[in-house]
Amino acid sequence: MPLRVELKPFERIVIGDSVIVNSNTRARFIVEGDAPILRERDTVTAETADTPAKRLYLCVQTMYLKNDAIRYRASYLACMNELRRALPEADGQAEAVDRHVTEGALYKALKEIRTLIERESLAVVQAEAVT
């Protein structure tokens, strides 16, 4: 099923190893095939991966965009272990992420990790409020 994409002016989208930057007008296009696609706002960079959940997201994002889960498996397991130590109350969500990764549903795993990032941010805010 083709994916319809609409980009705002100067919005970026990552398709595999390529970054497409829109011009100064809205653009619509259709992507046919199974190319991995992420909007720039849904990406994490090495510089912004400053928490366990964001590091896990970056790892799975790389697995997804490079279409090479096996190559990044050891990094993924290390990131998952770090997340589980840092956020033990989110073990159910971590299991869901792991299930998606195991099944090869990496985009679904990324969506689940986004909720973990929000949960992690909330935990940090709550911890700061207590101190």
At 26-85, the pLDDT tens digits run: 999 898 988 899 999 999 999 999 999 999 999 999 999 999 999 999 999 999 999 999
The answer on 86 and 49 residing in a single domain is: yes
Alpha carbon distances (Å) from 39 to 15, 19, 52, 83? 9, 9, 22, 24
For residues 113-121, give the mean pLDDT.
92
The answer on 27 and 74 residing in a single domain is: no
Residue 55 pLDDT: 97
The answer on pLDDT for 131 being more than 70 is: no
pLDDT (tens digit per residue) in 85-98: 999 999 999 999 99
| Residue 32 amino acid letter | E
User: Is this structure's pTM higher than 0.85?
Assistant: yes
The rounded distance, in Å, linking the Cα atoms of 9 and 48 is 24
The answer on 36 and 88 residing in a single domain is: no
What letter does residue 25 receive in the DSSP assignment?
S
